[in-house]
Structure 1
Amino acid sequence: MLHPYVVQTGDTLLRIARSYGINPEALLAANPRVLASERLTPGLLLAVPAQPTFTYRVNAGDTLLRIAALFAVSTHALIAVNSHIDLTFLQQGQLICIPVGDSDRIVNGRAEYGARELETDIEQLRNSYPFLLRRRIGQSVMGKPITAISLGEGASKVHINAGMHANEWITTPLLMTFAEDMARAAASGTRICGADIRSLLRLVTLWLVPLVNPDGAELVQEGMSEEHPYYHELLDWNRGSTRFSKWKANIRGVDLNDQFPAFWEVEAERRDAAGPGPRDYPGPQPLSEPEAQALAAFTEEEQFDLVVALHTQGQEIYWNYRGYEPPAAELIAAKLAKASGYKSVKLTGSDAGYKDWFIQDYRKPGFTVEVGYGVNPLPLSSFHDLYDELKPLLITAMEAAVPDML
């Protein structure tokens, strides 16, 4: 049996397949005129293969989002298998179909991941784990929310951010997968990489900002139409190309990791960028961009004890900045390297990054982690391997923030 689906703006084959819990190959087989290498046109009618289902009786207080979270399925998939029912008006005792998925997870890194997926997953995680908190810390140039989530109640504060560079967006679902694993372990009392997560979260408050650059991530994943408010500027900055897979900057062509007031003038001279572009333009001044402003203000408000900025690629850990780093920083970097298999690197000739500014202003441990190895954007086929490298590193970073555990 096939279900009709009308392609929406931002849809990709991988996104649609993920939403319906099917293989991309099955979706392509059902639509032989669609090519995997071509972008989908909004309004295109696709045939989506049906999934096996089971029946669920609606309880008092159930909503579409709550049921999706309960069974770890997407709202798209629920709507598809209940096309004869208006799921926005559920009644107690009503029978609905639940698609049988291949995973009990909420976060799914098998397709492109941007602001829409992030907001949906955060809501589903909060429904499943009410102790997970969220805070809007700012917004992007185009008004997309920049969201922080937190777990734990400890005195030591750890911050991890991801998705600062547009074509490094895979760090966002990696960090969200870590958030889900941490929440699940805290709820069930289980361990991660040998660590007792409930005990760890009594000592540490973990603050995550999974997607610093939502506009840029959308541009890399979806491209742009002529209706885009920066259409002509982006074409000019990208040398006339409509391919944005190498784009690192925000939507105004500013590299957000060259935006922080840590010898910014030196970095601007070193980069010698003529103006906005795919990478390396530090902006007209430090913190000119709302995304960098939001992250800086959030850091100033929370006064973190240790920070980690996730980037790709290189399998390296940068831990120093102009001698401002605390004595323990090199030892912590060595522990992170041992946990992940990455290389601890004493970096020179780089300024104005988030980690640089944090070390300079707070004299506390700060780390840039270059996840994986290859060419950005890293392929989704490497997701599970990347997460296996990253998970023990992040647990070790949390432990390192607790003085007695160093």
Structure 2
Amino acid sequence: MEVRVREGDSYAYYGRLFMVPLELIIDSNEKVNPSNLKTGTKIMIPGYVSVPYTIKEEDTLWKISKAKNLSIDAIMILNQMQNPNQVVPGETLYLPERISQHHVSLKLPYGSKILTKQIKALKKFYPFINVDTIGTSVLGNHIQEIRIGKGLKKVHMNASFHANEWITSMILMSLVNQYLVSLTNRSQLAGINSINLYNETELSIVPMVNPDGVDLVLNGPPTGSRQEVLKINEGSGEFVHWKANIRGVDLNNQFPANWEIEQERKAPKSPAPRDYPGSSSLSEPEAKAMADLIKNNQFDRILAFHTQGEEFYWGYEGFEPPESEFLAREFERVSGYKAIQNVDSHAGFKDWYIQEYKRPGFTLELGRGINPLPLSQIHDILKRVEGIFLASLYL
């Protein structure tokens, strides 16, 4: 929500007036010097929207503020009013409305266009977040990253490495949205003050690593790639079991952690709906974008959201540090998911991260059933994975 600075206003006053943490207001207005607020400057108040209200004959500003549980000055600053008696029946007044519920839809299949719209909405409602494009997919779709917080601890999470696991993007975005609502409402998450998490931890999220693959599963092949994709899929127009990117490369078999072993033993030796590790490691733009993101940042831990199995993997070839086991036990406790240290698998994102950086990495297998998991499971999954999300930030 946008307001204009009046003479004598300060960020601290806005924080008290709208009951939003001061640091969120400062971070929402990075280009404005808080010690030199000039009259008329546009300021963003995070976690609010302005809602039109038609003034009734019997209305006064005091009556409206009492009915809507709003400060009179909050209404005046939003409408640039000089006089509280400046209320004219029939005219439109704008009222500040706090956002108290998250806006991620949990009812519709979650493709890249919906994700893009929701990221844009989050940036508008919560301008203290940072949104960047870390790369593009084979078809030129943006692979976007969201950053929240400014702490020394750095945590990365991602979803939808695999196309038919698009429900993971919906879950991760829902968790992020709950976090943002909690921040601007000064509320707690599972007994934790969310603003403390914001100040202590910087969270990086890539909610959809494989946008082309997700859209293929949900919408069928794009016009320009139709024949190539149908050939990879052996002529079938059914893509519900497709895991790969649009070129038929499994992005979670693309990383240089014993990639040669996976190349040798994986059955597909050419592009396929799943399991083909590519002609070389990091051959695909989506995998390279993720590798570059990790190389350019000093993340303390990473979590990759997959489905299904209600378990998670936390080791790789003995490269994992002692901290990994501590985190794994806590994740197991708060979620009920089974912690598994090692599996006979290589070339995954988590494998490569642990091997290269000797830091905690986790592959979370959410839910149980046949991919893609039905949306009927989403609320149960959210309840169980929320504890992992929070523990990864505060521990």
- Of 236, 241, 246 in structure 2, the residue corresponding to residue 251 of structure 1 is 246
**1:331: Cα distance to partner?**
1.6
8 Å contact kept, 1:147–1:209: yes
Report the counterpart of residue 316 of structure 1 in structure 2.
311
Query: Deviation above 2 Å: which 4+ runs of structure 1?
Result: 68-71
- Of 144, 151, 156 in structure 2, the residue corresponding to residue 154 of structure 1 is 151
User: Given the alignment of the two structures, is residue 110 of structure 1 paired with residue 101 of structure 2, yes or no?
Assistant: no
Cα displacement string for residues 260-279 of structure 1 (whole angstroms, at most 9, x for unaligned residues): 01110011112132211110
TM-score normalised to the size of structure 1?
0.73
Report the counterpart of residue 334 of structure 2 in structure 1.
339
* Alpha-carbon distance in 2 for matches of 1:303, 1:382: 34
8 Å contact kept, 2:102–2:181: no
- Of 387, 395, 404 in structure 1, the residue corresponding to residue 390 of structure 2 is 395
CA RMSD of superposed structures (Å): 2.2
**Equivalent residue runs for 1:262-341 within 5 Å:** 262-341=257-336
**1:136: Cα distance to partner?**
0.5
Cα displacement string for residues 1-26 of structure 1 (whole angstroms, at most 9, x for unaligned residues): xxxxxxxxxxxxxxxxxxxxxxxxxx
Is the partner of 1:125 in helix, strand or coil?
helix
Cα displacement string for residues 141-189 of structure 1 (whole angstroms, at most 9, x for unaligned residues): 0000000001110001000000110000000011111111111111111
How many residue pairs get aligned? The number is 308
Letter in structure 1 aligned against 2:340: V
**Is the alpha carbon distance of 1:376 and 1:94 closer, same or farther for their aligned partners in structure 2, counting shifts above 3 Å?**
farther
Report the counterpart of residue 378 of structure 2 in structure 1.
383
8 Å contact kept, 1:158–1:305: yes
- Of 350, 354, 362 in structure 1, the residue corresponding to residue 345 of structure 2 is 350
* Alpha-carbon distance in 2 for matches of 1:273, 1:241: 17
TM-score normalised to the size of structure 2?
0.75
8 Å contact kept, 2:101–2:181: no
* Alpha-carbon distance in 2 for matches of 1:308, 1:317: 10
* Alpha-carbon distance in 2 for matches of 1:270, 1:304: 31
Report the counterpart of residue 175 of structure 1 in structure 2.
172
User: Given the alignment of the two structures, is residue 198 of structure 1 paired with residue 195 of structure 2, yes or no?
Assistant: yes
Letter in structure 2 aligned against 1:229: G
Report the counterpart of residue 6 of structure 1 in structure 2.
none
- Of 184, 193, 196 in structure 1, the residue corresponding to residue 181 of structure 2 is 184
8 Å contact kept, 2:145–2:205: yes
Is the partner of 1:304 in helix, strand or coil?
coil
Is the partner of 2:157 in helix, strand or coil?
strand
Report the counterpart of residue 122 of structure 2 in structure 1.
125
Report the counterpart of residue 365 of structure 2 in structure 1.
370
**1:104: Cα distance to partner?**
4.3
8 Å contact kept, 1:69–1:127: no
8 Å contact kept, 1:132–1:183: no
- Of 142, 149, 170 in structure 2, the residue corresponding to residue 145 of structure 1 is 142
Is the partner of 2:277 in helix, strand or coil?
coil
Percent identity between matched residues is 44
**1:224: Cα distance to partner?**
2.5
Gaps of 5+ in 1: 1-60, 72-92, 96-102, 401-406
* Alpha-carbon distance in 1 for matches of 2:146, 2:307: 22
**1:114: Cα distance to partner?**
1.4
Gaps of 5+ in 2: 1-41, 52-89, 93-99
* Alpha-carbon distance in 2 for matches of 1:183, 1:391: 14
* Alpha-carbon distance in 1 for matches of 2:328, 2:296: 25
* Alpha-carbon distance in 2 for matches of 1:190, 1:328: 29
**1:94: Cα distance to partner?**
9.1
**Is the alpha carbon distance of 1:263 and 1:94 closer, same or farther for their aligned partners in structure 2, counting shifts above 3 Å?**
farther
8 Å contact kept, 1:138–1:147: yes
User: Given the alignment of the two structures, is residue 214 of structure 1 paired with residue 211 of structure 2, yes or no?
Assistant: yes
**Equivalent residue runs for 1:53-68 within 5 Å:** none
* Alpha-carbon distance in 1 for matches of 2:91, 2:289: 44
Which protein has the larger Cα radius of gyration, Structure 1 or Structure 2?
2
* Alpha-carbon distance in 2 for matches of 1:136, 1:94: 42
